[in-house]
């Protein structure tokens, strides 16, 4: 079964190419920032931070924000942003959080749809015959 972190990694290209780069273009930042975000958007950091989301059927917004804060802290992205972009670090983090929240909710939905279809033991197929 695919983990939630693996689902997030599969959507990584869309997340970075379509969303993050476009929104961060408004800031006088270096391409190094995009690379830094890309470097911490890996299984090593995503899996421990968002593993609990696999067990929760209906996460609250507070839970998701808390998990994102853990990911940023564990990966030291927060320190990097604060040290290298002192004027804009909060706005940059908000952009990352806003977009990552959407990716997390999509990944959560996909994860639970996959597990639901694996757990029905073929009952949906059986219902077709009756």
How much is the pLDDT for 76? Answer: 93
Task: Please say whether the beta carbons of 111 and 7 come within 8 A.
Answer: yes
Cβ-count burial of 121 within 10 angstroms (0-12 exposed, 13-18 middle, 19+ buried)? Answer: exposed
* Structure token pair of residue 106: 């999509």
How much is the pLDDT for 16? Answer: 67
Terminal Cα-to-Cα distance of the chain (whole angstroms): 30
How much is the pLDDT for 124? Answer: 46
Which is nearest to 5 in space by CA: 74, 91, 84?
74
pLDDT per 10-residue tile (average), the chain, 130 residues = 86 74 79 86 88 88 89 93 92 89 88 68 44
Distance CA 126, CA 130 (A): 7
How much is the pLDDT for 71? Answer: 92
């Amino acid at each position: 079964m695919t983990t939630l972190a693996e689902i997030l990694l599969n959507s990584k290209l869309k997340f970075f190419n379509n969303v993050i780069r476009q929104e961060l273009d408004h800031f006088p930042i270096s391409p190094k920032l995009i690379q830094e975000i890309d470097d911490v958007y890996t299984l090593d950091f995503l899996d421990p931070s968002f593993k609990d989301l696999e067990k929760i059927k209906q996460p609250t917004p507070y839970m998701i924000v808390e998990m994102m804060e853990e990911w940023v802290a564990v990966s030291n992205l927060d320190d990097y942003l604060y040290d290298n972009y002192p004027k804009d670090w909060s706005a940059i983090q908000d952009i990352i959080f806003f977009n990552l929240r959407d990716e997390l909710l999509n990944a959560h939905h996909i994860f639970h749809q996959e597990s639901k279809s694996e757990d029905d033991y073929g009952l949906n197929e059986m219902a077709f015959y009756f």
